[in-house]
A and B are shown apart, each in its own frame.
Chain A
């Protein structure tokens, strides 16, 4: 997998200009109501996803990346609630859809690849039935023969043998299950696929296979993807742009090369530095436990408590996300 290595910043820039925006998220807010106040899981997040682009969404556990994804899919579970903002997918505001209109958009235009864990497939239903379920929910009853052919083709697209068609989830390995989920996700040619930690709970070899499958699917079908994950190695291989979240806010968005070579936000810098190297042993810098209470964020920058470069203005004014260089967005006072 050398795809990302062949990208140069210039390439991306020129192609980005011609690209259409598939998903446009504007000032998204998702709050979880608790007895002691709202937890601001996603606070004023804006970003775009372009046509046939893979954007990576990274950040530590609890930073709001999965909540962002669930908000796009309109699957935020109570007590969580989308309290503000717009989610424009191909021009339609998902945040305002309900009932049948919402069900029509689901899977037709946006699909989910769940975490690579055991439970994302219904254990008592054969794989073919679960894929057929998605197809028939949107296209009505299908002739049995064509449906079977279509599902076997989908399985072949992700490199699964046709015998998987009649198997139950427990008869598949973790990697096969994950690829079955990818096959299901592309069944209706959605314009956006959200992959929520698609390779967690898989071993490295299988991670690579799943990563390659995702990349292959993107190249062939031209879908846009949001890939959520912790795995910076996978991100470096897979995504075009990387969006870094911290405590419910977007702190940096840039082409993946740029993030790795010139991270601007102090949090991103710490995140990149903390990637364990297999070549040398170095102390881990990022420490846990210094985050603020998400119900009651301090005035100013959300990273002030952990930031090594904190100044007075950081404690007073919240830095907006600005395009500091071409296609490189950062929310930090250091660069003013």
Chain B
């Protein structure tokens, strides 16, 4: 039964392409429905700054041509789709000669590195905490200590970030308050640089792990409690299995299934960055870039980031669809 039939894979990949196409189209349509003309708005901003701009009408025309806004909508749409497919996201409106794809290419590795590690740590620690909270045999001292770890969940991201910077960067001076790596280091695959990246990434990572851990822990706790009432848990105990075996192979193994779905979705969302954390720590990732795009009303940049976010999430969902049968044998492709 089951197995990755070609038909199933094709359908999933088809769904993936459809999602990305729909996302791209929505990104294309929405700004064009919005009132106002971004180029005119930009030129008038220039006018406001320098008092008078010569040939403003020609300038608007030239910029329109440059951004491909002069043709009819279907030509624009065709050009847009073609460039999106080649990951050509065009020029940034606010910092003109820079290209959006280059800006994203610079920011993406930082975000992926920081958030992937933080989310995965948070996933493992959070699920373990949740599972232990629900388990009847958890020793009393752990049980007493666990809920305290979750109180941090109710502190917002940014508050905890500021608190951490205050304590560990300004107070104890253990970690740097901002940035992603030390100055004067050669960027590349060398040990001093990697060490510096880990050093700079610690505080932002901690603030993400600590504040998102509770989400995993509470979900896991609920699943474990539901699962504990199942007959196979009673049978596992009746079999005289060691408590650890019952906990891992029967309890956690079954409770983790919905959590994995949520993990895939949040890993997909990572591409969009964590705006607040990156802003507070001045971390040069996608979230910080999105913040800059919003502040500078840089539509093309925002569009680019949203597109990457859509592509990331739908890719994660695709991978989840293809990998899920490995962790839950009940999912088969026969019904597709």
Contact = CB atoms under 8 A, between A and B. Distances in A.
A170 B239 contact: no
B235 A120 contact: yes
Contacts of B232: 119-123
A199 interface: no
A195 B307 CA distance: 58
Contacts of B54: none
A168 B239 CA distance: 19
A133 interface: yes
Interface in B221-240: 230-232, 234-240
Contacts of A134: 239-241
Contacts of B238: 73, 75, 106-107, 111-112
Contacts of B239: 106-107, 133-134, 137, 184
Given A112-B235, A122-B249, A124-B329, A106 B240 contact: yes
A33 interface: no
Interface of B is mostly: helix
A114 interface: yes
Given A124-B328, A137-B242, A114 B253 contact: no
B249 A137 contact: no
Given A107-B240, A108-B240, A134-B241, A119 B329 contact: no
A13 interface: no
A336 B247 CA distance: 54
Contacts of A114: 231, 234-235
A124 B235 contact: no
Interface residues of B, number: 24
B1 interface: yes
B335 interface: no
Contact of A119 (B231, B241, B242, B257): B231
B231 A133 contact: no
Given A73-B238, A170-B329, A120 B231 contact: yes
A7 interface: no
Interface string B244-255: 010001100110
Contacts of A324: none
A141 interface: no
A120 B235 CA distance: 7
A115 interface: yes
B183 interface: no
The A interface is mostly helix, strand or loop, or mixed, namely mixed
Given A103-B240, A104-B240, A124-B329, A137 B235 contact: no
Contacts of A106: 237-240
Nearest to A134: B239
A137 B231 contact: no
Nearest to B328: A124
A171 B240 contact: no
B66 to A, nearest CB: 57
Given A120-B231, A124-B327, A138 B250 contact: no
Contacts of B245: 133, 137
Contact of A168 (B235, B253, B329): B329
A123 B330 contact: yes
Interface in A92-133: 102-108, 111-112, 114-115, 117, 119-125, 133
A115 B330 contact: no
Interface of A: 73, 75, 78, 102-108, 111-112, 114-115, 117, 119-125, 133-134, 137-138, 168, 170-171, 181, 184
25 contacts: A75-B234, A75-B238, A103-B240, A103-B242, A105-B240, A106-B237, A106-B239, A107-B240, A112-B234, A112-B235, A114-B235, A119-B231, A119-B232, A122-B232, A122-B254, A123-B330, A124-B327, A125-B249, A133-B239, A133-B245, A134-B239, A137-B240, A168-B330, A170-B330, A171-B1
Interface of B: 1, 136, 230-232, 234-242, 245, 249-250, 253-254, 257, 327-330
